[in-house]
Structure formats: C-alpha cells, structure tokens
C-alpha cells in the first residue's frame, strides 16, 4: 500500500512510466528537429557540402541520446514525486541533464568518426531538448492542476492540531490546490478550537476520534502538528494510522518556531537548518511593489479611463445618489483611509447592514449577502463584473492601497478580529488578492485570513503578477462575485 512506500514512489495521477516515455520521445524528436534546422533550413551557417546527408546515420545517435537523457533525468531526481517543486528548478535539472548527455554524444562522434557529424547540430539538439522538455513540464503542471481542481488525483488530508502550524498548513493547502492536498477536517483536543471550526474545513472532534474520522471521510493522509512534548500521544496516533494503513506526515518541532524562518543548507553532504527572520516585505521590496503598482496603473490608463467614464454616465442616468461612494477602511498598520468605489447600492445602505446581519447567519467580520436588496440595477452589473472597484485605482495612486494585497476591512470588522487576524494589517491592502482569485466571495473569513497570511509569507513580484493574471479570467467569468 502507498503508506509504506517512499515519497518518490507513491502513485500520482499519471502512470509512472508515462513521463519517462514522453521525455525520451521528446529527446528523439529534438534530434530530428535539429537535423531539419541544420540541413534543411540551414540556420546560422550554410551547408558547404552540396550533397544533403540523410537522417538515417543519425538515428542510432538519436536513440542513444534519448536513453542518456532519460538516465540523467532519473539520476537528477526529475521523476521523484516532490510536492511544490518550482518549475524553474525542473528547468535547471533538465538543462544540466541535457548538457551531460550532449557531451557524451559529442565524445561518441569523436571516437566513432561517423560520416555524418555536425557539432552545430548538437547545439541545436541541446537547446531544443531543454525547450521541449521545459514546455512539457509546464503543460504537465497545468494538466495536473486542472485535474486536481476538478477533484481528480487529490489526497484527502486530516490535520491533527489546529495551532499556528496547523493553520499555516491549512492556509498553504487552500492557497495551492494544485499541490493536490484537500483538507477535509481537523482534530484537536482543545474544545474551543473544535467549537470555532475553520471556515469550510470541518472540526471533527478530539484525537480520540482519529480512526472514526479516517474511515468516515476516506482520509488519505494524516498530518500531525503536535509539539514533541506530546511524544507519547504522537506515538499512539502513529500506530492508529499504521493500523488503518493511512499515509502519515509529522511536522518536526523545529518548524514550530516559524515555517518561514527555517532555511535548509547543505555543507558537503551534512544538512543544516538555519533559523533567521523572514521578511517578505522589506523596505526594498515595498518600493519594488509600489513601482509595479504605479507602472501598471499608468500603462492601463487607456483601458480603464474610458470604461470608468461609461460607468459614471450609467450611474448618472440611473440616478438615486452620487456616482462615487466613499467608505472608511483600515489599511496598513491600522491607519484609516477613505476607499473610493462606484456606487452600487441605494443611499443609506450602511445603516441597513446591521439589521441584515441580525436577520442572517453571515459572519460580521466578512459579510457577503447573496441577492442583497440594497444593490441597484446598474450596481448589480458592476458587482458581477467588479467594475465598481475601478475607482480603487485612485487609492492605489495615493499609496493607500496596492493592486494586490489583503482586502481592507472596515473599522467595525477590525474590532471583531482575534489577535492573529490583525496580521492582515501589516501590509498595504489591495484591490485583488490570493483569496479573491481562489474563491472570491465564496471564501469564509478564517480561510481568507489563512490565505492572506500565506501571501504575506510568500510574497514576490512573480506572485503578484500571477494573481493579477488569475484575476482577469475570474472577472470575465464572474466567478464567485455577487
């Protein structure tokens, strides 16, 4: 069973033989395409010999090359099932494997002295193999992410212990569904945590109910986040998982310090864990993020300016209040500012919200009302298309908001925060964010906070660009907005 296999040998969605077969075929294909570029198209340097050499003499070398590429991919660990490995890391491993393979083929050319030889063609082969191999890995990532998004090939995860590490793990799984982990619930011996729950992730009781929870919810993987001072209990839970043949992971206690403070180093084969501060939003990174915001706002001015004018005219013709709506929100470090939006509700809507909260079961920290009667006709269209948020760009120019970041709460919502929730206020709020592109209005407050904290811990320019790119289809498909 999979629970007793090494991590790299556990089954994935596709058959284990498929990816090596594709890699070998692509390497052979790259050899053939390189021949076309060199002898048919004569890229870079013309063929001085007027006699066109056939591809047949190259076939044995192409076959050996494909075999070498597969062997070097295997040696470099490209076929290990490592969750979360970056695509650029795979590209590096592909390039290093191809370099070794090409050197061996070049040595064969010198030793065997075949009639058909072209060192320039081997350069083409190397470059093309890296390109097609990297593209194949990227397509594979997209395909796996699509399948996992539709519930295929996922692992149902039960988290034991909903402390800081448990919540961090939950945030990562919710933020990165393409990793293939779907949290189905958690166990904790703290009754308060069980009573509160974590959004859509169900509290399943105490650790005494482990076996029952595994069977009832068809759990594939159990992750224990208890501290090692609970060693005896961890041992008992481990034996229960083994008895049910369930995959088990345990978070090392060193990770309890701070997931983002631990860096793994290798000193000539000796692994070392370095503990240090992790500051995603240093002063330099804040300046870079601010520069990106201003550059994108200015670059897209020809797009959003005329759209804003049309929206303003539609609201003016509809009547019923001003075109713009301003509301006090809480920004970075708890500073308040007036957020600007296009008006999408009737006048006095804020006064009606308290009554609506009393009549509904909505979370007052993040209320979202389906079929909200306060929304006007034009406003409903603006909400569905997110056009009501276009004036937020004014706040971006002022420096009160960013294009990407946690959504700014109202002062009333902040008064309901628990201490851990205030971490959302450590950075500049944004128009769009990680939780918006992962679920928009469908995400409960606790899940939203965990996703925001994941963003804060993992921020990078590429992550902001990824969120902005994911926002576009979300807006056009009107997914999760109301």
User: What is the secondary structure of 272-339 as a DSSP string?
Assistant: EEEE----TT-HHHHHHHHHHHHHHHHHTHHHHHHHHHHHHHHHHHH-SS-SEEEEEEE-GGG-EEEE
Do 226 and 370 sit in the same domain of this protein? no
Q: Which range is least confidently modeled, 45-54, 311-320, 366-375, 467-476?
A: 45-54
Higher local confidence (pLDDT), 278 or 393? 393
Alpha carbon 397 to chain centroid, angstroms: 27
Q: What is the pLDDT of residue 295?
A: 94
Do 291 and 264 sit in the same domain of this protein? no
- Would you place residue 121 in the very low, low, confident or very high pLDDT band (cuts 50, 70, 90)? confident
- 3 state SS of 248: strand
Over residues 390-404, the mean pLDDT reads 94
Do 46 and 79 sit in the same domain of this protein? yes
Decide if 158 contacts 237 (C-beta within 8 A): no
Q: Which range is least confidently modeled, 66-70, 469-473, 476-480?
A: 476-480
Do 373 and 397 sit in the same domain of this protein? yes
Q: Please say which residue of 149, 174, 201 terminates a domain.
A: 149
Q: What is the pLDDT of residue 6?
A: 45
Over residues 87-96, the mean pLDDT reads 90
- Would you place residue 361 in the very low, low, confident or very high pLDDT band (cuts 50, 70, 90)? low
Do 107 and 178 sit in the same domain of this protein? no
Average model confidence (pLDDT) across the chain: 81
Asked, for residue 183, whether it belongs to a domain, the answer is yes
Do 184 and 326 sit in the same domain of this protein? no
Do 251 and 385 sit in the same domain of this protein? no
304 has pLDDT over 70:
yes
Distance (Å, rounded) from C-alpha 389 to C-alpha 479? 16
Asked, for residue 435, whether it belongs to a domain, the answer is yes
Asked, for residue 129, whether it belongs to a domain, the answer is yes
Asked, for residue 77, whether it belongs to a domain, the answer is yes
Do 408 and 271 sit in the same domain of this protein? no
Do 102 and 203 sit in the same domain of this protein? no
Q: Please say which residue of 125, 149, 173 terminates a domain.
A: 149
325 has pLDDT over 60:
yes
Do 342 and 424 sit in the same domain of this protein? yes
78 has pLDDT over 70:
yes
The residue count of the chain comes to: 482
Q: What is the pLDDT of residue 3?
A: 46
Asked, for residue 317, whether it belongs to a domain, the answer is yes
116 has pLDDT over 70:
no
Handedness of CA 217, 222, 223, 226 (dihedral sign): positive
Over residues 78-99, the mean pLDDT reads 85
HSE at residue 412, side-chain half, CA atoms within 13 A, is: 12
- For 183-223, the pLDDT digits (tens) are 988 998 888 777 766 777 888 888 888 988 998 888 989 99
Do 161 and 142 sit in the same domain of this protein? no
Asked, for residue 378, whether it belongs to a domain, the answer is yes
Whole-Å CA distances, 265 to 15, 96, 274? 33, 21, 7
Higher local confidence (pLDDT), 457 or 279? 457
Asked, for residue 482, whether it belongs to a domain, the answer is no
Is the whole-model pTM more than 0.95? no
Containing structural domain, residue 233 = 155-275
- 3 state SS of 217: coil
- Would you place residue 429 in the very low, low, confident or very high pLDDT band (cuts 50, 70, 90)? very high
Q: Please say which residue of 216, 245, 275 terminates a domain.
A: 275
Asked, for residue 119, whether it belongs to a domain, the answer is yes
415 has pLDDT over 50:
yes
Do 341 and 438 sit in the same domain of this protein? yes
- Would you place residue 17 in the very low, low, confident or very high pLDDT band (cuts 50, 70, 90)? confident
Q: What is the CATH number of the domain that holds 225?
A: 3.40.50.720
**How many domains in the chain?**
3
Q: What is the pLDDT of residue 354?
A: 67
């Amino acid at each position: 069973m999979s629970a007793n296999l090494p991590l790299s040998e556990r089954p994935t969605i596709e058959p284990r033989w498929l990816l090596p077969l594709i890699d070998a075929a692509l390497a052979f294909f790259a050899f053939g395409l390189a021949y076309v570029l060199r002898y048919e198209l004569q890229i870079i340097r013309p063929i001085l010999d007027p006699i066109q050499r056939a591809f047949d003499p190259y076939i044995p070398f192409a076959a050996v090359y494909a075999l070498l590429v597969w062997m070097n991919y295997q040696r470099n660990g490209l076929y290990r099932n490592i969750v979360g490995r970056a695509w650029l890391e795979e590209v590096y491993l592909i390039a290093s494997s191809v370099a070794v393979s090409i050197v061996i083929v070049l040595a064969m050319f010198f030793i065997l002295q075949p009639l058909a030889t072209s060192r320039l063609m081997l350069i083409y082969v190397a470059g093309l193999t890296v390109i097609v191999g990297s593209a194949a890995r990227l397509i594979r990532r997209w395909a796996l992410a699509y399948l996992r998004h539709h519930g295929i090939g996922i692992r149902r995860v039960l988290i034991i212990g909903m402390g800081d590490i448990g919540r961090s793990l939950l945030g990562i799984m919710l933020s990165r569904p393409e990793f293939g982990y779907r949290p189905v619930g958690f166990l904790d011996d703290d009754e308060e945590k069980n009573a509160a729950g974590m959004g859509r992730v169900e509290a399943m009781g105490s650790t005494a109910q482990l076996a029952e929870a595994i069977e009832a919810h068809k759990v594939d993987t159990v992750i224990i986040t208890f501290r090692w001072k609970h060693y005896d209990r961890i041992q008992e839970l481990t034996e229960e998982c083994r008895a049910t043949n369930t995959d088990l992971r345990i978070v090392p206690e060193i990770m309890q310090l701070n997931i983002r403070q631990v860096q793994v180093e290798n000193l000539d084969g000796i692994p070392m864990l370095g503990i240090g501060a992790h500051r995603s939003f240093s002063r330099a990174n804040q300046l870079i993020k601010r520069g990106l915001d201003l550059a994108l706002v200015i670059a897209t001015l020809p797009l959003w300016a005329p759209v804003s004018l049309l929206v303003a005219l539609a609201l003016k013709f509809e009547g019923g209040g001003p075109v713009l709506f301003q509301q006090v929100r809480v920004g970075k470090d708890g500073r308040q500012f007036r957020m600007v939006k296009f008006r999408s509700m009737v006048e006095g809507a804020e006064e009606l919200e308290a009554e609506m909260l009393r009549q509904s079961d909505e979370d007052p920290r993040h209320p979202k009302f389906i079929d909200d009667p306060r929304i006007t006709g034009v406003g409903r269209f603006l909400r569905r298309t997110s056009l009501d948020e276009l004036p937020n760009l004014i706040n971006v120019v002022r420096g009160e908001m960013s294009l990407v970041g946690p959504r700014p709460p109202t002062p009333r919502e902040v008064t309901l925060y628990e201490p851990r929730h205030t971490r959302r206020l450590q950075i500049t709020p944004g128009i769009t964010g990680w939780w918006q592109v992962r679920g928009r209005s469908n995400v409960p407050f606790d899940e939203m906070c965990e996703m925001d904290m994941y963003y804060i811990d993992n921020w990078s320019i590429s992550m902001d660009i990824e969120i902005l790119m994911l926002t576009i289809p979300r807006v056009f498909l009107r997914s999760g907005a109301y």
